[in-house]
Structure 1
Amino acid sequence: VAGRPKEEYGLEPQGLDEIRPGCYNVDERVKDMNAGGILGSMCFPSFPGFAGRLFATEDPEFSLALVQAYNDWHVEEWCGEYPARFIPMTLPVIWDAEECAKEIRRNAKRGVHSLTFTENPAAMGYPSFHDFDYWKPMWDALVDTDTVLNVHIGSSGRLAITAADAPMDVMITLQPMNIVQAAADLLWSKPIKEYPDLKIALSEGGTGWIPYFLERADRTYEMHSTWTGQDFRGKLPSEVFREHFLTCFISDHVGVQLRNDVGIDNICWEADYPHSDSMWPGAPEQLHEVLTEHNVADDEVNKMTYENAMRWYHWDPFTHITKDQATVGALRKAA
């Protein structure tokens, strides 16, 4: 819905001629990024689903070919055209942990350190995050290649809805809560304890909920670990969370206000273009207003807007362009 008035939002199907070319044409996407003052972007796949579930057919060989074809196109053509503007992120082989591991390693050899994944594999009919042995090849590959697992809200197809006749506003309001469930699921899972270098990004979930979530996790550990058998090996869940998780926000006044309770090294701003939470093309102005309201220092702004992303994803646009060319003003001048 990027560029459309809110009155035109809805659930009606759309053809390519009804959406901005920046949704599917990389040259047009960069023009829209320039117009919106956005230097870099990590693009999630819409039509195959954020975890590639559309490609999981009854024919494993055909399914693998689909995933690899998408990944080759995304890395070589989409991101390869503008290496200073895109962080490459590939699809998983969601139905086969062994093949998923192979695909992670294949893409890491060409500089990819980001994998999109479901927030709840069990909801898709696959083993849960707690089936350690099943997913172990994937965990091994992620850690060996320093690849971030990006769990995106709603990627399992199961968003919270209270009743069939509940207004759509209920589901839209509860969308970020989907990632809260994923955070709990992963925080209490075995991989977090077994892989000190495992990195997980909570995509499009906001940050304002995290301080209470961490407080609740610590209290749960304090009150119940003796009978649940949880052992974080001398650390609190909140400490372990900050070692493993990157959190992301689009528009989150409370999250910015509580940024140091979240962990300033664990926060990234995200754009959500071309979806309906996006502030495009006025995101810089709206973000600046929030940052100013909460007296965010320049070094903190830099971390949340680009430095954390560069560090987590092994991405350095400044090997291709200068910082003077990457300002909002310079980008818009180039639009």
Structure 2
Amino acid sequence: MTGEDRYTVVSADCHAGADLLDYKPYLESRYHDAFDAWAATYVNPYEDLLADTADRNWNSDRRLADLEADGIVAEVVFPNTIPPFFPSAALMAPAPTRAEFEQRWAGLRAHNRWLADFCAQAPGRRAGVAQILLNDVDEAVKEIRRTKEAGLTGGVLLPGAPPGSGVPELYADVYDPIWAVCEELDVPVNHHGGSASPPLGEEPAARAVFMVETTWFSHRALWHLIFGGAFRRHPGLKLVLTEQGSGWIPGVLEMLDYYHGRLVNAAAKAATAESKFGAGLAESMGKGPSEVWRDNCFVGASFMRPHEVPLRDRIGLDKIMWGADYPHDEGTTPYSREGLRIAYAGLPRQEVAAMVGGNAARVYGFDLPFLDTLAAEHGPLVDEIATPLPEIPPRATSPAFARGGSVRVW
């Protein structure tokens, strides 16, 4: 929050990436011929990346102007465009086979190099999230170190490990070196919605089932890391769950606490049919699920919806980070002020300030006093956000404005 009249807004969920051919200079030269052959026949599957607005992903000046006009002065930058050798955007692409790994890993490293340069075009205003693959943990650790040194402050994007992916589940201790380096470097592990679903096909029913299930598959990272003991072994580890809703969190934590208590108690009793399920769990986990959430976890609550806001105390006011999801159609731009009003009108000023910027600044290491100076010109007025939204903008496409939004997702 800045001065007496404006909020400092940090979007904890934005997306960017290079245009397809612009990745080539960031690839190691030994992959250039293979890249030329791949790019010559590649057909982009996403209409929004072919439209005249696609350059919002890589045009730094346009992007800054769009976000400032929307009241946003800083952003956490997740990937969006197609990296080299991928069939689709990395968030949605299936885990690579052994044969695909080398080229796709080179493609993600090229994206990370491009992203470091992109963030450097707006110093202090972009926290870039580095991409890794889970096929080679040692290589992932090296890349996390390299990208932090290169200026990417958004931490690491944890890929999903859906059933059939061919990589170990996220609770596996094989990933311990990744948790260790993120704790050491004090960068968050981010898990973004849509990145953990198994392939379902293209039938109408499959697409509907994907919409229903995709957030649940993303939520799995939470209980995998909790029950896997990652936070006991690495108490400084930070996990951020982004663009997968927030209203589900209190109920899921209650469920996880229930199973934790039930299994630990069963393991302490004489041999029963259930005791084997809790064997060793107390020792491997340490704290219970709600304690882990309190100490280690955050939510990138993109375009937080009105029905989620009354749960903010149960989620944790210091956990919630609002996001615009720029430049996606489901994002709030250019109606982010209206999105903030529909969610936060009438709330105490300090609570709003934390959720729209203060928490994200703390988690991702933004210099809040510096951002305050920008917000003094571009931030939304406190009085404006305090005023209930009388009418939904007719051209708004974000679920933030969806009617009938009382459904709690998972």
The aligned amino acid for 1:315 is: F
Q: Aligned to 2:334, which of 257, 281, 305? A: 281
How far did 1:68 drift?
Answer: 2.5
In 2, the alpha carbon distance for the partners of 1:214 and 1:63 equals 36
Name 2:165's counterpart in structure 1. Answer: 124
How far did 1:109 drift?
Answer: 2.2
Q: Aligned to 1:156, which of 185, 196, 201? A: 196
In 2, the alpha carbon distance for the partners of 1:257 and 1:64 equals 42
Q: Percent identity?
A: 27
The aligned amino acid for 1:39 is: V
In 2, the alpha carbon distance for the partners of 1:15 and 1:205 equals 23
Q: Structure 2: 5+ residue runs without aligned partners?
A: 1-14, 16-44, 84-89, 268-274, 382-410
The alpha-carbon distance between structure 1 residues 54 and 261, as it changes in their structure 2 partners (threshold 3 A), is closer
Q: State whether structure 2 residue 293 is matched by structure 1 residue 241.
A: yes
Q: Does the aligned pair in 1 maintain the 2:95–2:165 contact within 8 Å?
A: no
Cα shift readout 1:265-295 (whole Å, capped 9, x = no counterpart):
1111111122232121112222223212xx4
In 2, the alpha carbon distance for the partners of 1:15 and 1:276 equals 12
Q: What does residue range 1-335 of structure 1 map to in structure 2 within 5 Å? A: 13-46=47-80, 47-48=82-83, 49-50=90-91, 58=99, 62-76=103-117, 78-113=118-153, 114-120=155-161, 123-132=164-173, 134-158=174-198, 164-166=203-205, 168-225=207-264, 226=267, 227=275, 228-229=278-279, 230-231=281-282, 235-249=287-301, 250-292=303-345, 295-316=346-367, 318-319=369-370, 322=373, 323-328=375-380
TM-score of the superposed pair, with normalisation by structure 1: 0.83
Name 1:8's counterpart in structure 2. Answer: none
RMSD: 3.0
Cα shift readout 1:140-160 (whole Å, capped 9, x = no counterpart):
21111111111112213537x
* Bigger radius of gyration: 2
The aligned amino acid for 2:63 is: R
How far did 1:59 drift?
Answer: 6.7
What is the DSSP-based 3-state SS (H/G/I as helix, E as strand, rest coil) of the residue aligned with 2:180? helix
The alpha-carbon distance between structure 1 residues 12 and 310, as it changes in their structure 2 partners (threshold 3 A), is closer
Q: Does 1 or 2 have the higher relative contact order (CA < 8 Å, sep 6+)?
A: 2
In 2, the alpha carbon distance for the partners of 1:237 and 1:97 equals 26
Q: Does the aligned pair in 1 maintain the 2:358–2:368 contact within 8 Å?
A: no
Q: Does the aligned pair in 2 maintain the 1:84–1:318 contact within 8 Å?
A: no
Q: Does the aligned pair in 1 maintain the 2:322–2:356 contact within 8 Å?
A: yes
The alpha-carbon distance between structure 1 residues 164 and 178, as it changes in their structure 2 partners (threshold 3 A), is same
How far did 1:100 drift?
Answer: 0.6
Q: Does the aligned pair in 2 maintain the 1:55–1:67 contact within 8 Å?
A: no
Q: Structure 1: 5+ residue runs without aligned partners?
A: 3-10, 330-335
Aligned length: 316
In 1, the alpha carbon distance for the partners of 2:98 and 2:77 equals 23
Runs of 4+ in 1 over 6 A off after TM superposition: 51-57
The aligned amino acid for 2:316 is: G
Cα shift readout 1:197-255 (whole Å, capped 9, x = no counterpart):
11111010111111111111111122222331321777431111221111122232232
How far did 1:169 drift?
Answer: 4.5
Cα shift readout 1:6-52 (whole Å, capped 9, x = no counterpart):
xxxxx864553443421232221112212222211122112231388
How far did 1:179 drift?
Answer: 2.5
The alpha-carbon distance between structure 1 residues 237 and 145, as it changes in their structure 2 partners (threshold 3 A), is same
The alpha-carbon distance between structure 1 residues 139 and 123, as it changes in their structure 2 partners (threshold 3 A), is farther
The aligned amino acid for 2:143 is: E
Q: Does the aligned pair in 2 maintain the 1:214–1:237 contact within 8 Å?
A: yes
TM-score of the superposed pair, with normalisation by structure 2: 0.69
The alpha-carbon distance between structure 1 residues 254 and 63, as it changes in their structure 2 partners (threshold 3 A), is same
Q: Does the aligned pair in 1 maintain the 2:69–2:378 contact within 8 Å?
A: no
Q: In terms of mean alpha carbon deviation, does 315-324 or 279-288 score higher?
A: 315-324
The aligned amino acid for 1:197 is: G
In 2, the alpha carbon distance for the partners of 1:15 and 1:191 equals 37
In 2, the alpha carbon distance for the partners of 1:119 and 1:296 equals 35
The aligned amino acid for 1:143 is: E
